Structure 1
Amino acid sequence: MTLEIRLAHHFPDFRLEVDLTAPPGLTCLFGRSGSGKTTIINAVAGLLRPDQATILLDGQPLHHLPPHRRGVGYVFQDARLFPHLTVHGNLTYAARIRRRAPRDLDRIVALLGLAPLLDRRPGALSGGERQRVAIGRALLSEPRLILMDEPLAALDEARKAEILPHIEALRDELRLPILYVSHALPEVARLATTIAVIEAGRMVAQGPAAQLLSDPATAALLGLADAGAILSARIAAQEADGLTRVETGAGPLWLPRLSGAPGQPVRLRIAAQDVMLALDRPLGLSALNILPVRVLSLHPADAAGALVQLDLGGQSLLARVTHRSVQALGLVPGQGAFAIVKSVAMARDGVEGGPQSPQG
């Protein structure tokens, strides 16, 4: 399903103007607080009536329908569960209102790992567990579209690590489009298939996540401190020393132990600041990950440094280096080089599914 959104709405402090096409998968609305991200999904949900709106889901208009007829499942930043109901009661609430048995209850319970929680009340759940229940309740409302408004923002790192794999599973296993709001770039890089960057009510960039994240031209919009690229790879082997070997188009990478069998695809986020460059393959380093690359382009990043876009076996990688290093290495487009990345630099939130151990 494809979601098309064209909105215009005037606020006292800024004007929202958006023209967005969200293809199947998870589309992330990324931007600073107050940029208009939540306003957009509230308009899609029917909770806000914009001055002008055209909202189409697979060509069918939603903008003229009341909220309860739009077929939207909404997951808020706070779970908003009914405190007097059990987890089972919260999950089946929409079905009871419709006076029919819930569809796919067992599948959703299994997908979100909710079976041990069904008899508990929200007060006995952790923040991550409550959000999983909220996601399950949204899915069991039989939606055609899922909206998520910063669902991880109120969680600590442990709870985020608990829930991220479940959102990945929803993205990969369900056929529903997901519109996801966030201002945390590592979270976006891990989850998004498409990114739309919103700034002061306007969409300033849009495209596939891998393309936007590896494009130096959009790095300033996304935040230089978090600039980086995502790579598609595949688990090759679980090594006896506790590392996992994954294969990329340019050769192997060794990472802290990942859960998964050989052949399983993984998505890696590599921050630009964690990539070093050398003209010749270095010897005598503790770093295991040394891969041949080719310089595609160089872009000034700030007063002291530049972003170097690299071709790594047909995928793009970014390195953040100083202007002095660019001059010392004589970097120019088309030049061959070697990228050096520490294994631990890709631990935890950098690997889809997450490593079992951060050591490496």
Structure 2
Amino acid sequence: MSIGVNIQHKIGNLALDVEFHILEPGITALFGPSGSGKTSLINIIAGLEHPNRGHIQIGDHVVFDHTHRINLPARRRRIGYVFQDARLFPHKTVSKNLYFGARRNPAKLPREEQTAILEMLGILPLMGRRPTALSGGEKQRVALGRALLSNPDILLLDEPLSALDHARKQEILPHFEWLRDHRKIPILYVTHAIDEVARLADYMVVMEQGKTLASGSVFEMLGRTDLPPLAGQFDAGTVLPARIASRDPQAEVSFLDCAGQRIVVPYLGRPASDRVRLHIRARDVMIARTAPVGISANNIIPVTISGISNEDGETVDVTLCFGHDADASLLATTSGRPTIHARITNWSAKRLKLGLHQKVFAVIKSVTVDGQLSDHS
């Protein structure tokens, strides 16, 4: 199931001009600052708002085409929508909320699939309650279950975790991972939280002021520092696939294999050979000319500088290609070799006399590496 969007729409002072095409199922993160038009965009895809011009296609079905005067109503678009605030019917039980949309869809899920969804979400013990008796996390699970039971062709999630505290977010995130890995439908996930993108997304569409700046694989996009929404001090970084090589519960660490390099992270509580993602923020990567000794940082990785940029004049973004054996002629493309990014001060870059193709060491503290990210690739 694919999705193609090419729309233009004026909303107050915001001019939406959005185009992207996702060819494979999975989670696509719509990422950007507040006010960039993310929610308006998915409302248009859902049929809740009508764009001035454009074309929207979900799978083989054109749901909107201005030129050919096609505009399917929301009820005919087979879209599941989970709002930020759940929007459950307060006078209905959980059971009646769950099946509200499913009753209107002639293409119902088989009973065993419905039961599997309810069990996965842990909703069965809640069926007789009303929304006022549910926690925030429980409400979002019910809202997600309602959307899934309607057997949608596409799922829209509008910042579903933004109103939850950290504990409730950790309760919900595994359910989204299960969806990504087991329900082969496109999922558009609106967020401005980079950690959610790194953990969940397969693809990424970056938006700012109503425009799509770029789109592509999450591994490619999170490594870019040239896009304003991704270039902030706390957002720039890298996501890399890795595998748990071994673990030491007593020392409370796990040892990961990332392209032949050992990386130490806080204990994950997951078995060896599990695949994970590493999210390494650029601000957490230090650069050393020689391998340091006698320091607390556990990750000292030999790298070769493949890119240097200091567009803002105050900081320097350095792209580091794994290994000291890289052919300098290949560093412009890195030839599939893993890279990480470091953000250091301009003064530090000058003091270290950094230059392209220079062999240095990336130094990363274990506590700054987020390895608690599932990877299904």
Q: TM-score of the superposition, structure 2-length normalised?
A: 0.88
Q: Which residue of 1 aligns with 2:286?
A: 276
Question: Which runs of structure 2 are paired with 1:305-320 in the superposition (5 Å)?
Answer: 305-312=315-322, 314-320=337-343
**1:35 alignment partner AA:** S
Structure 1 equivalent of residue 52 of structure 2: 51
| Identity level (%) | 44
For the structure 1 residues 257 and 50, does the alpha-carbon distance in structure 2 shift closer, same or farther, using more than 3 Å as the test?
Answer: same
For the pair 1:87 / 2:110, whether they are aligned, the reply is no
Paired residues for 1:1-360 under 5 Å: 1-23=1-23, 24-63=25-64, 64-97=71-104, 103=110, 104-218=113-227, 221-239=230-248, 240-300=250-310, 302-312=312-322, 314-347=337-370, 351-352=372-373
Q: Report if the CA contact (8 A) 1:92-1:102 is conserved.
A: no
Cα 1:211/1:21, change in 2 over 3 Å: same
For 2:234, what is the secondary structure of its paired residue? helix
Q: Can you give the 5+ residue segments of structure 2 that lack an aligned partner in the other structure? A: 65-70, 324-336
In the TM superposition, what is the alpha-carbon distance from 1:110 to its structure 2 partner?
2.7
User: Which secondary structure state, in structure 1, belongs to the residue aligned with residue 101 of structure 2?
Assistant: helix
CA 1:174 to 1:102, structure 2 compared with 1: closer, same or farther past 3 Å?
Answer: closer
Q: Is the 8 A contact 2:56 2:63 kept in 1?
A: yes
What's the offset of the Cα at 1:178? Answer: 0.5
Higher mean C-alpha displacement, 215-224 vs 290-299: 215-224
Tell me if the contact between 2:233 and 2:283 (Cα under 8 Å) persists in the aligned partners.
Answer: no
Corresponding residue pairs, total: 352
C-alpha change, 1:321 and 1:138, in structure 2 (3 Å) is same
Point out the more displaced range, 302-311 or 100-109. 100-109
Deviation at 1:310, TM superposition (A): 1.1
Kindly state the Cα deviation for residue 304 of structure 1 after the two structures are TM-superposed. 2.5
Given that residues 78 and 154 in structure 1 are in contact (C-alpha distance below 8 angstroms), is that contact kept between their aligned partners in structure 2? yes
Asked whether the equivalents of residues 185 and 222 of structure 1 are also in contact (C-alpha less than 8 Å), the reply is no
* CA RMSD across the alignment: 2.0
Q: Structure 1 residue 220: deviation in Å?
A: 5.5
CA distance in 2, matches of 1:90, 1:214: 41
Q: Check the 8 A contact 2:304/2:320 in 1, yes or no.
A: yes
Structure 1 residues 250, 340: CA separation in 2 closer, same or farther (over 3 Å shift)? farther
Deviation of 1:319 after TM superposition, in Å, equals 0.6
Tell me if the contact between 1:213 and 1:219 (Cα under 8 Å) persists in the aligned partners.
no
Give TM-score scaled by structure 1 length: 0.92
> Mind listing any 5+ residue stretches in structure 1 that lack a counterpart?
355-360
Residues 178/342 of structure 1: CA separation in 2 closer, same or farther (3 Å cut): same
Distance 1:117 1:248 in 2: 42
Distance 2:295 2:63 in 1: 58
Change (3 A) 1:119 1:291: farther
Further displaced range: 186-195 or 137-146: 186-195
Residues 280, 337 of structure 1: 8 Å contact kept: yes
When structure 1 is superposed on structure 2, of 311-320 and 195-204 the one drifting more is: 311-320
- Helix, strand or coil: the match of 1:308? strand
> Residue 256 of structure 1 aligns to which amino acid in structure 2?
P
Aligned to 1:358: none
One-letter amino acid of the counterpart of residue 165, structure 1? P
Offset of 1:99 from its aligned partner?
8.2
| Distance in 1 (alpha carbons) for counterparts of 2:252 and 2:197 | 28
Measured against aligned partners, the alpha-carbon deviations of 1:290-344 in whole angstroms (never above 9, x if no partner) come to 1111111011153321111111362121111111221222211212111111111
Kindly state the Cα deviation for residue 160 of structure 1 after the two structures are TM-superposed. Answer: 1.3
